[in-house]
Amino acid sequence: MLISPAMNAALREARFAGDAPLDESGLRQARAAAEAVPDADLILHGPSGRCALTADALGLRSTADNALGDWELGRWTGARLEEVAAREPDEVAAWLADPSATPHGGESLLDLCARAGTWLDSLHDSDAGRVLAVVEPAVVRAALVQALALPPQAFWRLDVAPLTLTEFSGRSGRWNLRCGRPLTAEAAA
């Protein structure tokens, strides 16, 4: 089970987030969602402050897992998408069109999807039981691409709203899913 973290200013501003903290609205929404979080045997969070703070606000005792880190976007980290597109239009176009492109000097979409898929598939061989992780939306999207064996370009067509739950069931090579269940009425709005 993957929960996307609560809202923050970077998300509202369409920034390549980096490690922006939650704002008061995001904290309030996460606290309100705490009762809707399903039980799990192993609880993890991505290494970003946003994921850690969301997990804490949800009342989860979780452990950071670096394999669940956000998409590494190199020199674009922290910048607004519109700023990068104005400054580097050809690079942004290549990045959006070619899943192996890394004009930002970070991780390619293919690498992100492979990383998320490897983590997801590793759960099949573990005895962890029900796993819940608070992870950045890009990681949720990449896991969906891998679990359903979608073409990498499908990543750009998937939206993951803040504080939504995506549930995977089954096993490596044959995942089923339930996508985007809001944890609170406020998150659904």
Which range, of 17-21, 101-105, 184-188, averages the lowest pLDDT? 184-188
The domain made up of 2-188 is a member of CATH 3.40.50.1000: no
Distance CA 54, CA 34 (A): 10
What is the mean predicted confidence (pLDDT) over 26-42?
94
User: pTM score, two decimals?
Assistant: 0.92
List, for residues 42-73, the tens digit of each pLDDT value.
999 999 999 999 999 999 999 999 999 999 99
List, for residues 121-130, the tens digit of each pLDDT value.
888 777 888 9
Highest mean pLDDT among 7-11, 12-16, 149-153, 173-177: 149-153
What's the pLDDT at 18?
63
Residue 15's pLDDT band (boundaries 50, 70, 90)?
Answer: confident
pLDDT > 70 in the chain, percent: 96
Is the pLDDT assigned to residue 27 strictly greater than 80? yes
Nearest residue to 51 (alpha-carbon basis) of 33, 64, 67, 40? 64
Higher-confidence position of 19 and 61: 61
Please, what is the average pLDDT of the chain? 90
What's the pLDDT at 135?
97
